Amino acid sequence: MSKSTRLAKAIEILAYIAGHHPEPVTTKEIAASLGEHPARVRQLVSRLVKNDILATTRGSGGGSGLAIHPAEITLEAVFKAVEESSILAVVVPNSGSCGPVAKKIQDLFDSFETKLSKDLSSYSVAYFQD
């Protein structure tokens, strides 16, 4: 199973944009700075815009900027905006029909998921600023 880098890249993008606030930055600038493919940056920026974390302006001098203060952007919100699976991405197959052990395993994994989500919500993009 491959690991997702979306959350880490989205945080890097947000930290870069926050560091240039209030000036908007283009996805091309972000991609060059982070050594990332511009299409990947556009995809993540698009998800962050759809979740009201970033705002974009078109035209000359346009680009992306923060829609809200960095301290208000929790890592949990960023995760939900860019990831497609759960934090752990671990599921017990057929936990409902495999008996009490499988149910307890799934309950434990669900508990881990809740704790990780809470931990993510206690950090914001401001944490990554100098």
Six-digit token string for 114: 């809740």
According to the model, what pLDDT value does residue 46 have? 97
Identity at 77, one-letter amino acid code: A
29-75: pLDDT as tens digits? 999 999 999 999 999 999 999 999 999 999 888 899 999 999 999 99
Phi then psi for residue 60, to 5 deg, are -60, 130
In a domain, 92, yes or no: yes
In a domain, 1, yes or no: no
What is the CATH classification number for the domain harbouring 28? 1.10.10.10
Six-digit token string for 38: 């511009």
In a domain, 58, yes or no: yes
According to the model, what pLDDT value does residue 4 have? 81
Tokens 């920026």: give the residue. Answer: 45
Domain region containing 36: 6-128
Q: Residue 16: pLDDT band by 50, 70, 90 thresholds?
A: very high
Identity at 129, one-letter amino acid code: Q
85-99: pLDDT as tens digits? 777 766 666 655 667
In whole angstroms, how far apart are CA 111 and each of 24, 81, 105?
40, 22, 10
Overall number of domains in the chain: 1
Please say if the pLDDT value at position 26 is more than 80. yes
